[in-house]
Structure 1
Amino acid sequence: MTGAPTSDTRQRLIAAAADLIAASPGEEFSLRAVCDTVGVKMPTLYHFFGSKQGLIDAVIDHGFDLYLGEKASMESSGDPIQDIRAGWDAHVAFGLANPGFYTLMYGKVRPGHSPDAQSRPSRILRGITARAAEQDRLAVPSDQAAAHILVTNIGVTLRQIILATPDPALSSAVREGAIAAITDRGARTSSQLTAAMELAAAHPNVLGKTETELLIKWLGRLVEDSN
């Protein structure tokens, strides 16, 4: 190839690396093989990416582009909890269909290194959990809820990729367990009832002594029933 490197050459290098990664998920790939596929010399690859890790990060960005392109086509149901379910299932489906990309996106861990592209789906999920919080559907802060959903979603997807066997029952069970953890109305109700008991006890003159004692008794029974 002659002439100065072009942006088209960069995209072809990313595509070649992506194809090699997709063909052998979890395995190392050769920079030489990437260059030979595109028909360029190693200096051209280093011109664009600086290092092998730079190329890997570009492939990760490409993987997230594919993933978010699929998510962008999904319409909101209007129910944020149902949207979490749909997003979870789409996440798992993408991972199983693209194990090479997925293991790069979420399975390759380097302490202190988090690809910028990882923040993109996280922002989408935080937006959904923020809507759930606005509807008083969460038992934990919305950012905590998003983190809880994401890490369990990643874990169950990687598990299926490692076993090379889809397990819809496992995914569904973990999904519902994660949703229950962030929307535990029982625990929140108990906390709210306890707070009401404490408030009533602190202001007995509002209702009167007898009425306050009766209210506290009733609230206490509700706490027991909710636990």
Structure 2
Amino acid sequence: MGTETKILDAAAQLLEAHGPAGLTTRTVCEVAGVKAPTLYHHFGDKDGLERALVRRAMAEFMQRKRAPAATADLLEQLRFGWDVAVEFALDRPALYIVFAQQVRSHPELAAEGYALMREKVQRLVDTGRFRLPVDEAARAVWAASQGALSLVGQNMARKDVEATSRLLFDAVVNELSQPSPSTQSPS
């Protein structure tokens, strides 16, 4: 195992065991068995270490998100991606908190996830399932998903976060969906 991997593994272990406050460069060095200059050589500073942790987790996350949904239904594929995001955040809440903090100053960390979600929204717009232009619809889906994810780390029961997530998904989808001919008023 390389030095970078050893440091990242130690940081991930500390983060999940003690939360973001327990992730100090001193403790990471102790657990990884390296000196501070080694950590700084590889990551620059604590912010660089956190960014590297987030990048590594995002690679794993995107692999899960890119896995094909077990359905051809485009809306269910969008829901699958949404649910993967919520599950990932609930399974690793401390990492999600660091991710959310890092994305504020480094929005490119979320770019691949946004692009994949936008592709799914594009297909829903192209098939007429969503009535708004793709950029507007994608922003709405993203904002609603971020609202669900913001509940992670707030001492809410998992089932409550999942229930709120389903509610937000259904609400944004209902708003974006084409009205059926039976609900449209006659001209």
Normalised TM-score (structure 1) = 0.73
Q: Does 120-129 or 7-16 show the bigger shift?
A: 7-16
Instruction: Give the Cα separation in 2 of the matches to 1:69 and 1:22.
Output: 21
> Structure 1 134/83 Cα, relative in aligned 2: closer, same or farther at 3 Å?
same
| Percent of matched pairs sharing the same residue | 26
Structure 1 partner of 2:42: 48
Structure 2 partner of 1:121: 113
Instruction: Give the Cα separation in 2 of the matches to 1:78 and 1:144.
Output: 24
Tell whether the 8 Å contact from 1:63 to 1:102 is kept in structure 2 after alignment.
Answer: no
Shift of 1:114: 2.3
Shift of 1:33: 0.9
Q: Match of 1:42, as an amino acid?
A: A
Residues 1:138 and 2:118 are matched in the alignment: no
Q: Match of 1:74, as an amino acid?
A: P
Shift of 1:142: 1.3
Shift of 1:157: 2.4
Q: 4+ residue stretches of structure 1 with deviation over 2 A? A: 24-28, 72-79, 114-117
Structure 1 partner of 2:16: 22
RMSD: 2.2
Residues 1:9 and 2:10 are matched in the alignment: no
Structure 2 partner of 1:212: none
Please give the per-residue CA displacement for 1:73-92, whole angstroms capped at 9, x wherever unaligned: 33362222111112112211
Structure 1 partner of 2:28: 34
Tell whether the 8 Å contact from 1:63 to 1:105 is kept in structure 2 after alignment.
Answer: no
Instruction: Give the Cα separation in 2 of the matches to 1:38 and 1:163.
Output: 30
Tell whether the 8 Å contact from 2:15 to 2:23 is kept in structure 1 after alignment.
Answer: yes
Q: Match of 1:155, as an amino acid?
A: G
| Structure 2: gaps of 5 or more residues | none
Structure 2 partner of 1:179: 173
Shift of 1:184: 4.5
Structure 1 partner of 2:67: 73
Q: How many residues align?
A: 183
Residues 1:159 and 2:151 are matched in the alignment: yes
Normalised TM-score (structure 2) = 0.87
Larger radius of gyration: 1
| Structure 1: gaps of 5 or more residues | 1-6, 191-220
Structure 2 partner of 1:222: 186
